[in-house]
Amino acid sequence: MMNSTLLLAFLSFGALLLYRLSVSFNRQRPPLPPGPKGLPLIGNLWDVPRAEDYPWRTFARWATTYGDILYLDIPGNPTVVINSAKAAIDLFEKRSGNYSDRPDFTMLKLTGWGFNMAFVRYSDWWRMHRRMFHQHFQPRALPAYYPVQMKATLVLLQQLHKSPDAFVHHVRHHAGSTIMKIVYGYDVDPNGDRFVELVDRALESVRIVGNVGAFLVDYFPILKYLPRWLPGAEFIRLAQAWRKDVDDMSEEPFEYTRESMAKGLAPPSFVSENLTKMQKTEVADTPTHLEIIRNTAGVAFAAGADTTVIVVLSAMLAFLLYPEVQAKAQAELDAVVGYGNRLPNFDDRPQLPYIDAIVLEAMRWNSVVPLGIAHRTVKEDVYRGYYIPAGATIIGNAWAMLHDEKDYPNPLVFDPDRFMPRDGKEREPEPTVAFGFGRRICPGRYIALNTAWIAIASMVSTLSFTKAVDSEGRIVEPSETFTSAFLSFPVPFKCTIKTRSPQTQALLD
């Protein structure tokens, strides 16, 4: 065992030395983008900010010194960080053929997330998943899901009224029940559900390991062969523990739908419709097609759970910190829907531009995935006179783009009016970078926005959100900060939730 460990260490050092030699011999190319000065041999390995230190803020701060495109010399994994929307469009959009690949995400694969098409390399395998997903979640397919979203939202309102202190649980249940019904035809138990709890446990791992480089094995994949008992190999034990939850999340709901179909009890859903289509067309490679259906369903389940939760919780936090936003939203809803007459629905959306603006601002104010999902260059490139190596990791700093003062004045302030028509002024750019870039933009963004929109519109129409008060009558000030993981949530906060009037309470009853 010790000999194998020494061999691994020797191979790692040899690979590092060969990389350095190859770099030093290639002096005829254009210069690399600027960045922090590294150390001999290890380059910027120790400069990379840790996940808990909000790396997107560090990269944005470095951009003021080095410019909006900066380079980190990480042995074996050259990394370029993009900090402006202009550079992101130039590379991820206009040169998408070269910038649509993904790094290997070694730690994510160890934890079982290799099935997720968001992390899959740019390939025919990815295209097959993307095609199936797009067929069911493109804009013209969404009206079929309105009844599910409306029903789940009514349950959310009733739960918020019944037990407001558990609002985080209720928001999670709302997102989970919506996507579970659409994807698997499964009715979630509002008092606590094993599948919703399962996806939450599974997502714990991606929140921690989703940013490439969160673990050293992302930079040195050979480390995954270390024996588990060796000091420093804790990541292997962590990955194995997480993998069970991830595998169960992908497998168990899928099997539930298959069993329901066998009994003739399955309602229409993404999984049941694709399985039925597969049976009717007699697919040649059944195991592969089954895997694609299961994988794509698992992606929709996982992605639909967390993204919607973050947007809704961010909007709730904003209502506490900016009560004038809540008041303006309620005035718009009262004018369109009526005060306690009925709940809003999707037909009202064209007359509710301020609710749309709140959703957009919640996405901008707190970027769901602040660093996006890393891209990878297929071949070497030159941009603005700078050399970008083949196989380089390319990070799109969505947080920096969505907090760029040139595009969004006073970026730390929650201000939905940014996205409202204004006399003589253009609206600020919509925060589409929150969903990724180019060909790898999130294909589930439309249904996620719809789920968040109907939840926020319905909550504002019927409920009032104010700062909590402690046992001595003092106001509990919520924190205007967010977590520093791959998926960024508002830090836990308290709030008081009440129905707006007897009329709105009657709607919920």
Question: Are residues 57 and 399 in contact, defined by beta-carbon separation less than 8 angstroms?
Answer: yes
Sign, CA dihedral 482-214-108-120, equals: positive
Per residue, what are the HEC states of 356-373?
HHHHHHHHHHCCCCCCCC
| Residue 351 CB neighbour total at 10 angstroms | 13
- Both tokens of residue 39? 């150390």
Q: Is 422 helix (H, G, I), strand (E, B) or coil?
A: strand
C-alpha–C-alpha distance, residues 186 and 260, integer Å: 10
C-alpha–C-alpha distance, residues 283 and 469, integer Å: 60
Closest by CA position to 376, among listed 181, 113, 179, 104: 104
Residues pairing with 70 in the sheet: 81
Sheet with 375-376, edge to edge strand ranges: 69-72, 79-82, 393-396, 375-376
| Residue 262 CB neighbour total at 10 angstroms | 9
In whole angstroms, how far apart are CA 66 and each of 85, 339, 382?
A: 16, 53, 17
Classify the phi-psi angles of 501: left when phi > 0, otherwise alpha if psi is within -120 to 50, otherwise beta. beta
C-alpha–C-alpha distance, residues 328 and 333, integer Å: 9
C-alpha–C-alpha distance, residues 97 and 251, integer Å: 33
CA 123 to chain centre: 22
Question: Are residues 387 and 31 in contact, defined by beta-carbon separation less than 8 angstroms?
Answer: yes
C-alpha–C-alpha distance, residues 338 and 324, integer Å: 19
Query: Does the annotation list 495 as a binding residue?
Result: no
Instruction: Count how many residues are written for the chain.
Output: 509
Closest by CA position to 44, among listed 205, 213, 188, 171: 213
Q: What angle do CA 366, 368, 370 make, to 5 degrees?
A: 80
Binding residues: 442
Binding residues for heme: 442
